[in-house]
């Protein structure tokens, strides 16, 4: 853009904030956005801050300055850094009490980021304190600055690098005493100004979070004492209460991280344990925010002691910190379930630790606490007494009950599923028990029912006392009583009770499989429920699917009844997902039938879906009940896909697959659907998914449809670049590349795919905008290497595919990048004694250097740290071929990277480069290579 003037920018800001014309506002917004990207914005933003024309222009200028420092600092030569620093300090020095907080924050952020980036600025914190600490008008701005500097240390935008970050942290640790003293003075002299005190606490917290304070030195800090005073008082404002909670939580996290124990640890533990009365007061005053703050603090206290709590508890005596669980359980009992939810991750961590140790005596210490937890969750899970219908889908209470399900499944081994089942059954038998109490008890039982049978079977194998073994065996006798009670529910019981009871039967599928005499009455009960409305039918369908999946041996005899259910499926009031699940269950049973019965049963089951799909493919949706969902081909395709996926007969070599006749016979309908819906990417994905399961079901016996299918998808892909067709191509390669006469045709398919694929990917941002296409294309190429390596490597297609893969190395998309890395690994991974070795060596000679260069660049600048394990696999494969070549290429790649960052600080030293090359070359495993890549990448982040 042309160099703008300050006046033009002022006019743009005025238009953006004041012009009533939305078109003009949009134009101004785009122009200002482009202006902020230009190099001219440095000077003009500085000019606007000096002019102080109005609030909007000053705010825009401050935001621009902060954006430029964060994202475009490399535009400035090092010689300009000092003048920028002086300019920002000058702007900050003119701040008064009246200056708007948004301007103060943006300017403070700009200066904080500059302090971190500008390596020539020595001791920035000490400089700021020396310059501004004696100016009362600067107190707010200075505290804001001191808060932001540690907060920005780990900013992803700044990319400080590990070396610079280490320098900064050492400096901040050295200056932490000055900061602590200044904050204490501000606290003493700040009168009763709540905003100032809140800022002081937030600043203190930010320094704790980067571990800058030496914990023994702040054990007597007035700020910590003040935090406890605030939390103990019933009159503390919400902001101060939250800030005090954050400070103490940060201290606890810091101590856990450093495994630091001593005076501060004891003070915090004792002080927090004394806050129980404050919590009870917040409950009495119905101050939910304070209750949640204190619950969070109690939970973090437990988490910070969790390792010691478990490790230092012996068989006889638990660790003293176990009593902090009483504080947490008090919170779980709060009348609002949102408070209980805060504790859930802590219970998960506790259960993980106990499960790994597998020590019955140790686990027994925590059993009473988990029993209390389940009792509290049972109460929280109760619906309102006047609630009609089921739990509302998508509501916050439904979400909470879902989390309750997860946490119960995590902790239930501590108390045993059978004991919990009995505990809830006692509730059901209580005299005059309310419907909502019964439903909640059933809900808890539903979440442990799946564990009942495995637990009974394991009882004899576990090292538990004989008395406990006998008790659990006795408790297991509760299950048939529960099943009997469910099967005899009165007709007038609340719908929620019936719904949860139906769900329990599905979860008891393992127990039913071991007690087949209960199967017929259970099926009768579910069949009746399947004919009900208001959600009961969907629950019954889900339970039937579970029983079919688990009780396969016993359900074969009920195939006629299942087929009758399939015929009437659309007459039931069930959700689409439940219907698909029910078809899955029926299909599993069909797959166990003898071939003579399987083929007609599968043909009939498919016919209900295929006939409807055929009418839609012909453009005729008459006779589909007039419902909107019925006229959507996805409705029928998903059902058909479920059948193809789950009818899985056992077929020996050279035997005819009994599904083949049905699938080949239905091909014409799917072919017509491909043609009709080729413009609709979502429907095409459903059709491809259906064809995928069909091919997987019958494998090579799908040969009659292979040629017409390949021709059709090539034609469609040339005009409509649906990446799902590439995925389907990989399925075909996987199944047919070994077959004589198929390989060349499949290579021709790949060649036909390349031109339209590369046409899309070579557009501006093509790789970034089409990650699915990258994922599916390289999955297809990888299948060729795995199934027909010789033919693939001999083809002229391999070079352009490799070149595309080199460009795609930097794509920061998890699935797409994995496919690219697997392509390169497959290219390099094979028996090095066979005929392919010379070809692979030739590929490495031509592309090895570029591959290593791109992989290292991607690792450092483009990819998330958790994606580097896949990159490491490629390094390992290259090393298998030639360690010397790997070392040479890695040295060149490292040498091409910048040695300093935009702030002038050293990003990577010569010693670190040498160490990285050594680590990569000497790594014996992909895990070690991953660690080397992650450590090296941190130097640039």
Residue 193 has what pLDDT? 87
Q: Is residue 245 part of a domain?
A: yes
Residue 452 has what pLDDT? 83
Contact 743, 785 (CB under 8 A): no
How many secondary structure helices (H) and strands (E) does the chain include? 49, 0
* Least trusted range by pLDDT, from 241-255, 467-481, 553-567, 634-648: 467-481
* Least trusted range by pLDDT, from 439-443, 616-620, 823-827, 842-846: 616-620
Give this prediction's pTM. Answer: 0.89
Q: How confident is the model at residue 625 (pLDDT cuts 50, 70, 90)?
A: low
Residue with tokens 């939305």: 22
> Same structural domain for residues 298 and 264?
yes
Contact 143, 186 (CB under 8 A): yes
Interval 90-98 mean pLDDT: 86
* Phi and psi, residue 43, nearest 5°: -70, -45
Q: Where are the beta strands (DSSP E) in 425-488?
A: none
Alpha-carbon distance of 777 to 752, in angstroms, equals: 12
> Same structural domain for residues 242 and 382?
yes
> Same structural domain for residues 419 and 548?
yes
Specify the long-range contacts of residues 201-205, CB closer than 8 Å, at least 24 apart.
201/226, 201/227, 201/240, 201/243, 201/244, 201/246, 201/247, 202/147, 202/243, 202/246, 203/143, 203/146, 203/147, 203/179, 204/180, 204/247, 205/243, 205/246, 205/247, 205/250
Residue 472 has what pLDDT? 57
| CB proximity list for 399: less than 8 A, separation 6 or greater | none
| Cβ neighbours of 795 (radius 10 Å) | 16
* Least trusted range by pLDDT, from 78-92, 253-267, 347-361: 253-267
Model confidence at 420: pLDDT above 70: yes
User: Which tens digits make up the pLDDT trace of 38-68?
Assistant: 999 999 999 999 998 899 999 999 999 999 9
Angle at 874 between CA 872 and CA 879, to 5 degrees: 95
Q: Which domain holds residue 563?
A: 415-591
Q: How confident is the model at residue 829 (pLDDT cuts 50, 70, 90)?
A: confident
Model confidence at 892: pLDDT above 80: yes
| CB proximity list for 676: less than 8 A, separation 6 or greater | 616, 617, 619
Residue 391 has what pLDDT? 92
Alpha-carbon distance of 828 to 793, in angstroms, equals: 11
Q: Is residue 900 part of a domain?
A: yes
Residue 830 has what pLDDT? 66
The end-to-end CA distance of the chain, in Å, is 31
> Same structural domain for residues 350 and 488?
no
> Same structural domain for residues 349 and 446?
no
> Same structural domain for residues 364 and 253?
yes
Structure-token pair, residue 141: 């701005």
Contact 566, 583 (CB under 8 A): yes
Alpha-carbon distance of 369 to 373, in angstroms, equals: 6
Which of 539, 556, 591 delimits the end of a domain? 591
Interval 393-397 mean pLDDT: 91
| CB proximity list for 177: less than 8 A, separation 6 or greater | 217
Residue 447 has what pLDDT? 96
Which of 551, 570, 591 delimits the end of a domain? 591
Q: Is residue 44 part of a domain?
A: no
User: Which tens digits make up the pLDDT trace of 310-360?
Assistant: 998 887 889 899 999 999 999 999 999 999 999 999 999 999 999 999 998
* Phi and psi, residue 359, nearest 5°: -120, 110
> Same structural domain for residues 421 and 407?
no
Contact 200, 246 (CB under 8 A): no
- Give the residue from 444, 407, 452, 403 showing the smallest Cα distance to 426: 444
> Same structural domain for residues 217 and 229?
yes
User: Which tens digits make up the pLDDT trace of 135-171?
Assistant: 888 899 999 999 999 999 999 889 999 999 999 999 9
Alpha-carbon distance of 807 to 168, in angstroms, equals: 36
> Same structural domain for residues 474 and 569?
yes
Q: How confident is the model at residue 762 (pLDDT cuts 50, 70, 90)?
A: very high
Residue 1 has what pLDDT? 56
Contact 693, 644 (CB under 8 A): yes
Interval 724-729 mean pLDDT: 98
State the CATH number of the domain containing residue 531.
1.25.10.10
Which of 556, 591, 626 delimits the end of a domain? 591
> Same structural domain for residues 889 and 918?
yes
> Same structural domain for residues 484 and 371?
no
Q: How confident is the model at residue 463 (pLDDT cuts 50, 70, 90)?
A: low
Q: Is residue 817 part of a domain?
A: no
Model confidence at 261: pLDDT above 90: no
Q: Is residue 292 part of a domain?
A: yes
State the CATH number of the domain containing residue 383.
1.25.10
Alpha-carbon distance of 380 to 340, in angstroms, equals: 9
Residue 190 has what pLDDT? 76
CA max distance for the chain = 94
Interval 264-281 mean pLDDT: 95
Q: Look at the chain and report how many structural domains it folds into.
A: 3
Q: Is residue 878 part of a domain?
A: yes
Alpha-carbon distance of 522 to 814, in angstroms, equals: 45
| Proportion of the chain above pLDDT 70, given as a percent | 96
Model confidence at 730: pLDDT above 80: yes
User: Which tens digits make up the pLDDT trace of 95-120?
Assistant: 887 888 999 999 999 999 999 999 99
> Same structural domain for residues 254 and 224?
yes
Q: How confident is the model at residue 622 (pLDDT cuts 50, 70, 90)?
A: low
Alpha-carbon distance of 347 to 343, in angstroms, equals: 7
| DSSP annotation string for 712-776 | HHHHHHHHS--HHHHHHHHHHHHHHTTSTTTHHHHHHHHHHHHHHHHHHHTSTTHHHH-HHHHHH
Alpha-carbon distance of 53 to 645, in angstroms, equals: 68
| Cβ neighbours of 22 (radius 10 Å) | 8
Structure-token pair, residue 843: 């590929």
Q: Is residue 314 part of a domain?
A: yes
- Give the residue from 490, 479, 415 showing the smallest Cα distance to 449: 479
Model confidence at 623: pLDDT above 80: no
Q: Is residue 728 part of a domain?
A: no
| DSSP annotation string for 769-824 | H-HHHHHHHHHHHHHHHHH-HHHHHHSTTHHHHHHHHHHHTT---HHHHHHHHHHH
| DSSP annotation string for 150-178 | HHHTT-TTT---HHHHHHHHHHHHHHHHH
* Least trusted range by pLDDT, from 298-307, 370-379, 447-456, 911-920: 447-456
Q: How confident is the model at residue 578 (pLDDT cuts 50, 70, 90)?
A: very high
Q: How confident is the model at residue 491 (pLDDT cuts 50, 70, 90)?
A: confident
Interval 485-509 mean pLDDT: 95
* Least trusted range by pLDDT, from 216-220, 407-411, 647-651, 830-834: 830-834
- Average pLDDT taken over every residue of the chain: 93
- The conformation of residue 906, written as its DSSP 8-state character, comes to B
Residue 31 has what pLDDT? 93
- Give the residue from 740, 667, 743, 729 showing the smallest Cα distance to 698: 667
Contact 529, 486 (CB under 8 A): no
């Amino acid at each position: 853009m042309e160099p703008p003037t300050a006046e033009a920018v002022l006019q743009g800001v005025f238009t953006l904030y004041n012009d009533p014309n939305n078109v003009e506002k949009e134009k101004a917004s785009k122009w200002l956005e482009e202006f902020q990207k230009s190099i001219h914005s440095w000077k003009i933003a500085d000019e606007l801050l000096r002019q102080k024309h109005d609030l909007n222009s000053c705010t825009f200028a401050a935001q621009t300055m902060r954006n430029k420092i964060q994202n475009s600092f490399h535009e400035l030569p090092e010689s300009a850094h000092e003048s920028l620093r002086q300019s920002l300090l000058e702007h900050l020095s003119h701040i008064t009490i009246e200056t708007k907080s948004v301007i103060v924050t943006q300017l403070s952020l700009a200066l904080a980021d500059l302090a971190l980036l500008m390596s020539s600025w020595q001791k920035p914190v000490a400089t700021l304190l020396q310059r501004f600490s004696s100016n009362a008008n600067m107190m707010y701005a200075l505290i804001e600055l001191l808060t932001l500097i540690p907060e920005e240390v780990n900013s992803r935008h700044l990319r400080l690098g590990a070396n610079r970050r280490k320098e900064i942290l050492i400096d901040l640790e050295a200056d932490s005493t000055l900061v602590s003293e200044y904050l204490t003075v501000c606290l003493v002299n700040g009168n009763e100004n709540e905003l100032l005190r809140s800022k002081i606490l937030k600043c203190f917290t930010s320094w704790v979070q980067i571990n800058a304070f030496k914990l023994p030195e702040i054990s007597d800090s007035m700020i910590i004492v003040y935090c406890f005073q605030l939390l103990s008082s019933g009159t503390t404002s919400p902001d101060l209460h939250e800030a005090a909670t954050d400070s103490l939580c940060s201290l606890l996290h810091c101590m856990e991280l450093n495994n630091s124990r001593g005076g501060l640890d004891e003070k915090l533990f004792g002080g927090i344990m004394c806050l129980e009365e404050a919590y009870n007061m917040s409950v009495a005053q119905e101050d939910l925010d304070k209750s949640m703050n204190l619950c969070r603090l109690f939970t973090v206290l437990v988490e910070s002691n969790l390792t010691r709590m478990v490790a230092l508890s012996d068989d006889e005596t638990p660790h003293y910190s176990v009593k902090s669980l009483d504080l947490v359980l008090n919170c779980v009992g709060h009348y609002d379930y949102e408070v209980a939810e805060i504790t859930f991750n802590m219970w998960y961590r506790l259960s993980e630790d106990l499960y790994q140790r597998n020590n019955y005596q140790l686990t027994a210490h925590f059993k009473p606490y988990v029993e209390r937890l389940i009792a509290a969750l049972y109460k929280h899970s109760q619906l309102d007494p006047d609630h009609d219908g089921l739990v509302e889908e998508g509501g916050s209470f439904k979400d909470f009950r879902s989390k309750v399900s997860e946490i119960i499944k995590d902790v239930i081994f501590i108390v045993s599923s059978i004991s919990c089942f009995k505990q809830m059954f006692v509730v059901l038998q209580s005299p005059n028990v309310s419907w909502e109490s019964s439903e909640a008890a059933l809900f808890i039982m539903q979440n442990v029912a799946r564990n009942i049978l495995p637990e009974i079977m394991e009882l004899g194998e576990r090292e538990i006392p004989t008395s406990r073994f006998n008790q659990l065996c006795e408790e297991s006798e509760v299950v048939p009583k529960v099943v009997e009670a469910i099967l005899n529910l009165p007709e007038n019981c609340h719908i929620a009770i019936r719904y949860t009871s139906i769900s329990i039967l599905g979860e008891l599928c393992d127990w039913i499989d071991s007690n087949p005499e209960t199967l017929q009455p259970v099926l009768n009960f579910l069949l009746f429920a399947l004919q009900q409305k208001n959600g009961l039918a969907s629950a019954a369908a889900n339970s039937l699917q579970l029983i079919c999946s688990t009780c396969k041996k016993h359900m074969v005899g009920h195939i006629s009844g299942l087929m009758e259910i399939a015929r009437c499926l659309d007459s039931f009031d069930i959700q689409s997902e439940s219907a698909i699940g029910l078809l899955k269950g029926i299909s599993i049973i069909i797959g166990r039938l003898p071939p003579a019965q399987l083929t007609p049963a599968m043909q009939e089951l498919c016919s209900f879906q295929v006939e409807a799909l055929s009418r839609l493919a012909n453009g005729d949706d008459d006779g589909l009940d007039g419902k909107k969902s019925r006229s959507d081909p996805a409705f029928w395709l998903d059902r058909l896909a479920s059948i193809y996926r789950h009818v899985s007969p056992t077929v020996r070599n050279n035997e005819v697959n009994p599904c083949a006749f049905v699938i080949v016979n239905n091909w014409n309908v799917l072919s017509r659907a491909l043609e009709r819906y080729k413009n609709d990417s979502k429907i095409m994905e459903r059709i491809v998914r259906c064809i995928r399961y069909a091919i997987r079901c019958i494998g090579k016996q799908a040969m009659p449809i292979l040629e017409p299918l390949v021709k059709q998808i090539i034609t469609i892909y040339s005009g409509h670049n649906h990446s799902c067709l590439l995925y389907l191509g990989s399925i075909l390669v996987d199944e047919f590349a070994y077959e004589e006469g198929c390989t060349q045709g499949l290579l021709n398919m790949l060649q036909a795919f390349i031109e339209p694929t590369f046409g899309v990917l070579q557009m501006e941002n093509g790789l970034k905008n089409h990650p699915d296409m990258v994922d599916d294309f390289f999955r297809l190429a990888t299948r060729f290497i795995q199934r027909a390596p010789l033919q693939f490597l001999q083809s002229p297609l391999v070079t352009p595919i490799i070149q595309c893969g080199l460009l795609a190395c930097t794509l920061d998309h998890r699935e797409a990048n994995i496919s690219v890395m697997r392509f390169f690994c497959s290219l390099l991974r094979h028996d090095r004694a066979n005929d392919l070795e010379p070809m692979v060596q030739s590929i490495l000679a031509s592309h090895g250097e570029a591959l290593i260069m791109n992989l290292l660049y991607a690792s450092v600048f483009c990819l998330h740290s958790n994606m580097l394990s896949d990159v490491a696999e490629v390094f390992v494969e290259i090393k298998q071929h030639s360690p010397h070549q790997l070392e040479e290429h890695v040295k060149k790649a490292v040498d091409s990277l910048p040695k300093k960052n935009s702030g002038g600080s050293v990003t990577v030293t010569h010693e670190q480069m040498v160490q990285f090359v050594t680590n990569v070359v000497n790594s014996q495993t992909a895990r070690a290579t991953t660690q080397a890549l992650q450590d090296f990448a941190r130097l640039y982040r």
